[in-house]
Amino acid sequence: MKEDDIHSELIHLTTLKLSGEGSTEDLVRLEELLAEDETNKTFHDELVKTWDGAEKAKGITQAEADQEWVRLRKAIRNDSGKKSTSFSLLRIAASIILFASIGFVIFFSTRDNNTTIVAQEIQTKVLGDGTSVTLNASSELVYTPSYGKESRDVSLKGEAYFDVERDESKPFIIHTSSFDIKVLGTSFNVKALEDKPTAEVVVVTGTVEVSYQGNSVVLEVGEKGILNKQSGQLFKVFNNDVNFMSWRTKKFTFNDVSLDNVVEVLNSAFHSKLFISGTEVQNCPVTVSFENQSLTSILEVLKVTLDLTITETSRGIEISGSGC
């Protein structure tokens, strides 16, 4: 694995660990990287120090963050010709900005000048051409310094909502580990989680082309493109999931769906660890709507409505009951 790829993975895993959102697999992978090389541990330690100092950045505005980012890029470019590996490592570590009030980590690679944004929480970033990208928590966006000049290519890990500024001379292209997406100007949601068996694109406005290994589908408004990673099958269906953007809008509509399905949607939207104990209540029907309510508030409504027991455990939040 390339050095910059390792640093990018370290940033992602360290952010998950420090924010308390890392899974057991994430933490195990982080420990593996730290044990592989002493420079990985040094880099990790610099990340932790920066995180610990992030409280000082509270209250900083997006404009101030962008100004600081420009200053750091210039400073690092001035040092890019120096040959000291240890010095370069420290400069890379020093170029990581964690703004507690803004909610994302910015990573600048001195080798290829790419910008990587790793969201700690739901965060919107407006690119140079006016395109707006809303990243779900623990998602990552990468783009090059030439973005918007000759092309508009970005890479995505995780989930994001794109509202693309129209430019017929420069199509907007998203690269994921699953498929590529090409648009001119439209809005759509991409869910390309590396640990899931499928990847999805749902179109809100405009038209989107999704391609995978020479095959492609064109999606219109209200359609969903799905890639089955195991079979390689790429197809489209009408999107009937009204909660596909609930992670961003915090609006939920459940119409006679099972409690098991409700838990799945809530876990995705809140990055929570809800689980149902036993089979007595998992198929209980739920018909209810929520808007801008906290997870605690939603659970309280479900508890009262279905006579559930909600218990915090070491595994997460356990949901149980005698039946429905």
Q: Where are the domains of the chain?
A: 1-106, 122-240, 246-320
Phi, psi torsion values for 154, nearest 5 degrees: -135, 160
- How confident is residue 273, by pLDDT bands cut at 50, 70 and 90? very high
Tokens standing for 222? 């209200």
Which among 200, 128, 198, 195 is positioned nearest to 161, based on CA atoms? 200
CATH code of the domain made up of 122-240: 2.60.120.1440
CB contact set of 183 (below 8 Å; sequence gap of 6+): 162, 164, 171, 172, 206, 207, 208, 209
pLDDT of 28 strictly over 80: yes
Which among 207, 217, 201 is positioned nearest to 185, based on CA atoms? 207
CA distance 151 to 73: 21
Between the CA of residue 5 and those of 8, 17, 137, what are the distances in Å?
A: 5, 18, 20
Q: What percent of the chain has pLDDT over 70?
A: 77
3-state secondary structure of 42: helix
- Tell me the HSE value of 10 on the side-chain side, using a 13 A CA sphere: 29
3-state secondary structure of 76: helix
Q: List, for residues 31-65, the tens digit of each pLDDT value.
A: 998 998 888 888 788 777 766 655 454 444 555 55
pLDDT of 249 strictly over 90: yes
The answer to whether the pTM exceeds 0.75 is: no
pLDDT of 86 strictly over 50: no
CB contact set of 12 (below 8 Å; sequence gap of 6+): 118, 138, 140, 157
Domain range 246-320, CATH class: alpha beta
Torsion of CA 5, 45, 12, 135, to 10 degrees: -120
Q: List, for residues 131-160, the tens digit of each pLDDT value.
A: 999 999 889 999 988 899 889 999 999 999
Q: List, for residues 180-231, the tens digit of each pLDDT value.
A: 999 988 999 999 998 889 999 999 999 999 999 989 999 999 999 999 999 9
At residue 181's C-alpha, the angle toward residues 179 and 186, to 5°, is 155
